[in-house]
Amino acid sequence: MTDVQGTRAGDQPVADTPAAEGRCPVFDPHSPDLTPDRAYELYAELRTTCPVSRGEKYGGYWALSRYDDVRATAMDNARFSSAGGVYVPAVSTHRFPPIDYDPPEHGRFRALIAPLTSAAAAKRMEPAIQATVDELVDRFIDTGRAELVEQMAVPLPLDVITQLYGLGPAQAEDIRSYSLEFLENSSGEAGQNVIRRVCDYWIEVFAERRAHPGTDFISQLLQLNAELDVPDEELANMMFILTYAGHDSTALGLSNALLYLAEHPETHARLLEDESRIPVAIDEILRYHAPLHWFPRVATEDVTIADQVVRAGERVMLLFGSANRDAEVFPDPDVMVLDRKPNRHLAFGAGIHSCPGMPLAKAEMRIAVTTVLKRLPGFHVDGEVERTSPLEGGGRHLGVRRLPVTW
């Protein structure tokens, strides 16, 4: 056995560890008490007292809370498999490419979407993103007030992704509707019914695009797949997870950024003095409030992590939200430092399963934040803010559901 840092573990005794004796606090993603504040308090307890803690629900799992352990495990796809799925407990018998696949199958799916999710592809989308942001602001700027979740954070990524797919407004509403339905019913039979219905929807879209191809993402995806020959059912599963994650996680990240800026209007002028500060500030907000707090893996062999033996076949949960607050990596981790450099946050994951849509998400957030700062000078909170509390989506999502502002 080797630990995640690569040193020999031998037959280290584990019976005396806090995890083995049950003295540790337990991370339960489905706890109704998992508010954002409580989550960060719990992460701090875990990092200090029990960096590899045991939970017995949902078939059992180990929760990793320290940055080095989380990142090393995320990078080690040979000993930590993603084939067990991204939900705990599982929400479906379907597997969602590429996130639920290991090499070599994983590489096939990433190759399929790489030309369409690259930094260059995101750069090409920037004029369309700017046009959408300006149109959204135009709709409410004369009123002197807005609700920035429903009027900016949600419609922006939804509009961008539907433009990318070559879909119309009605289909955009379909995507948002099924995403909300799945978010509310992500486990159990209701969630499985959503997945089945949506995958049938994408298979119908594939048939339409084969008959009438265009220059959109889906048409290009089908052309690229002519050689790889991935079955439509697997492509539909991939479109489900790409679409759901592609707009909902971006909306979460953008809403967190807009909330911070609305609560701190004194920072606006400093950011606009040098616009290169804006992406740096966004990275810090992503670190401080990671939109997605955890993802699971399954050990493929016995591995020792922080003196705790994780047996082959056992599930581990990578607490990215905790890793991003680790003082060993981020000085003053519970303080928002808008010019923090370096900033090796894990808000987009790490390793082969890092978010493929990261360039597009960052472009959307940068353009939206820059435009709002310029066009709504001094915007600030004016009304009751509603956060995802407890964490939503199986205890993983952190964002804002209502953000009323005025200027």
Residue 227 has a pLDDT of: 85
Tell me the C-alpha to C-alpha distance, in Å, between residue 140 and each of 154, 170, 343, 386: 15, 22, 35, 20
pLDDT per residue over 107-128, tens digit each?
A: 999 999 988 889 999 999 999 9
Report the CATH number that the domain containing residue 253 is assigned in CATH.
Answer: 1.10.630.10
Predicted confidence band of residue 246 (pLDDT cuts 50, 70, 90): confident
**pLDDT exceeds 80 at position 351:** yes
pLDDT over threshold 70, residue 88:
yes
Cα 114 to its chain centre, rounded Å, is 18
Cα→Cα distances 231→97, 220, 228, 405, Å: 12, 16, 9, 47
Q: Are 49 and 18 within 8 A, CB to CB?
A: yes
pLDDT higher than 90, residue 6: no
Q: Give the pLDDT of residue 186.
A: 63
Provide mean pLDDT across the span 193-202: 88
**pLDDT for residue 10 is more than 80:** no
Confidence grade of residue 244 (pLDDT, cut at 50, 70, 90): confident
Does the pTM of the predicted model rise above 0.85? Answer: yes
pLDDT beyond 80 at 4? no
Q: Which domain holds residue 264?
A: 2-406
Domains in the chain: how many in total?
A: 1
**Of 7-16, 66-75, 161-170, 363-372, minimum mean pLDDT range:** 7-16
For residue 196, name the pLDDT band (cuts at 50, 70, 90).
Answer: confident
- 17 against 49, higher pLDDT: 49
361 vs 363: CA distance, rounded Å: 5
